[in-house]
Amino acid sequence: MSKRLSDCRVTVVGLGLMGASLCMDLVQGHFCREVRGVAHRTETALRAFFADAVDQATTDLHAGVAGADIVILATPVRTIVSMIEELGAILWPGTIVIDMGSTKGEICAALDRLPTGIQPLGAHPMTGKEQAGFTAAEPGLYVGAPWVLTPLPRTSPAALALVTELAQAVGARPFILDAQRHDRLVAAISHLPFLLATALVHAVADTGEDDPMVWELAAGGFRDTSRVAASDTRMFMDILATNREAVLAQVDAFDAHLHELRTLLAAGNEADLAAKLTRSQQLRANWRKK
């Protein structure tokens, strides 16, 4: 008989925004038997424990995952990939290993190299904010958020059902996608916007070199469109490096649309420019209704 979440010991490796927020939800909701946190720094482990974000906290990866039913890797993508190799030698047979990385291709390939007795499952909860670290964590972060699951051919139905139960317990909406499709879609809706926001900030900064008043005038429009440029650099370096081809394809697609807008504006073609702008307005309104 497969276990239910309420019977499981869950270890979350990485107590930053995503990992610590998940721990808080699991502990406060009493959704599982035990919640352990593994942090890189002793200070973070102590803060998590005394904040009642976890039942146990440690900086020792081996001790943290020993006997766990579910191990959740909530570190930057390339750290996840390297950690999976280390975990293969120390996990107990039957352990479910999932990640919370923003790209899935390289992670799922690494998960597939785990020993046969381990149950791997790629995952990506689509939520977060620009702040990073334990101090940014908060209960309820996952409520209403899409949570992508990327099962491998070797992932058992029982493991998939248990992780689905976990995602739903914290209020998320699980979706099942293959790794390649996931990476192509998030390149469009997450990774491209980060690059665009970064370019926007640099463009405005160039204007500010000539006239610093631009920063005094910047208001809601600039704040909203540049918001994701404040995201953690290390996190996005890992994302861009592990999803390079899909991101480049989206940059090229965006560049084509921007070039079209520039051409219409330069030619004074107001009719076609207005049609293009109206179409984008409609597309966004239709997305908001879903």
Cβ-based burial of 221 (10 A; exposed 0-12, middle 13-18, buried ≥19) = exposed
Give per-residue pLDDT as tens, 30-88: 999 999 999 999 999 999 999 999 999 999 999 999 999 999 999 999 999 999 999 98
Residues of the chain above pLDDT 70, percent: 99
Cβ-based burial of 165 (10 A; exposed 0-12, middle 13-18, buried ≥19) = middle
pLDDT score, position 223: 86
Give per-residue pLDDT as tens, 161-176: 999 999 999 999 999 9
Alpha helices, H only, 51-178: 61-65, 77-87, 105-111, 157-169
Residues of the chain above pLDDT 90, percent: 82
pTM: 0.88
pLDDT score, position 290: 64
> Percent helix, strand and coil across the chain, each rounded to 5?
55, 15, 30
**Token pair of 50 as six digits:** 């005394």
Strands (E), the chain: 9-13, 34-38, 56-58, 70-73, 96-99, 119-125, 146-151, 173-176
Q: Which of 157, 102, 158 is nearest to 127 (CA)?
A: 102
Bridge-based pairing of strands 146-151 and 70-73 is unpaired
Give per-residue pLDDT as tens, 207-254: 999 999 989 888 888 888 888 888 888 888 999 999 999 999 999 999
Query: What is the rounded average pLDDT for all residues in the chain?
Result: 93
- Residue at token pair 């248990």: 162
pLDDT score, position 227: 87
Cα–Cα distance for residue pair 139/135, rounded to 1 Å: 12
Phi/psi of residue 36, nearest 5 degrees: -110, 145
Cα–Cα distance for residue pair 215/209, rounded to 1 Å: 10
Rounded to an integer, the average pLDDT of 180-191 is 95
Give per-residue pLDDT as tens, 111-123: 999 999 999 999 9
Identify the structural domains of the chain with CATH numbers, from first to last.
5-177 (3.40.50.720), 182-289 (1.10.3660.10)
Distance of CA 111 to the CA centre of its chain: 17
pLDDT at 12 over 50: yes
pLDDT score, position 1: 44
Count Cβ neighbours within 10 Å for each residue of 226-248 and write b for 16 or more, e otherwise: bebbebbeebbebbbebbeebbe
pLDDT score, position 140: 94
Local confidence band at 139 (pLDDT 50, 70, 90 cut-offs): very high
pLDDT score, position 53: 94
- Residue at token pair 């965006």: 254
